């Protein structure tokens, strides 16, 4: 990890950083004022969510580095663990 990530992790205690995560599925949906992106990662049972103003390319099958906060979202009186992504970096594929 670089020093910027290490500094952020020290300053923001619940922040988690993972590297080289494989994206299993990527869904984008419009939510009034922005596009909500939901990622499912290989080996994880909960969604990683983040918002963007514009639609972005599909990340399915790509490797990414993520910084996120664990959170709970209530949907129809059902609590669901989600991860709120604050930083995502797509790792370029080496040919």
Contacts 24+ apart (CB under 8 A), 76-81: 80/46, 81/46
Backbone φ, ψ for residue 47 (5° rounding): -80, 150
pLDDT for res 49: 95
The angle subtended at Cα 51 by Cα 45 and Cα 54, nearest 5°, is 130
10 Å CB burial of residue 38 (0-12, 13-18, 19+) is middle
Residue 4 pLDDT more than 80?
A: no
Backbone φ, ψ for residue 48 (5° rounding): -110, 120
Domain that holds residue 45: 3-91
CATH of the domain at 68: 2.40.50
Q: pLDDT category, 56, cuts 50, 70, 90?
A: confident
pTM above 0.85, yes or no: no
Domain count, the chain: 1
Q: pLDDT category, 95, cuts 50, 70, 90?
A: low
């Amino acid at each position: 990890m670089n020093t910027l990530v290490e500094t952020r992790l020290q300053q923001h205690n619940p922040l988690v950083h993972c590297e080289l995560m494989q994206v299993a599925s990527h869904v984008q949906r419009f939510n009034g004022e922005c596009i909500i992106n939901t990622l499912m990662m290989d080996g994880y049972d909960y969604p990683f969510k983040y918002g963007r103003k514009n639609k972005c390319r599909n990340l399915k099958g790509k490797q990414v580095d993520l910084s996120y906060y664990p959170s709970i979202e209530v949907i129809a009186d059902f609590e669901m663990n989600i991860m709120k992504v604050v930083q995502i970096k797509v790792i370029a594929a080496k040919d």
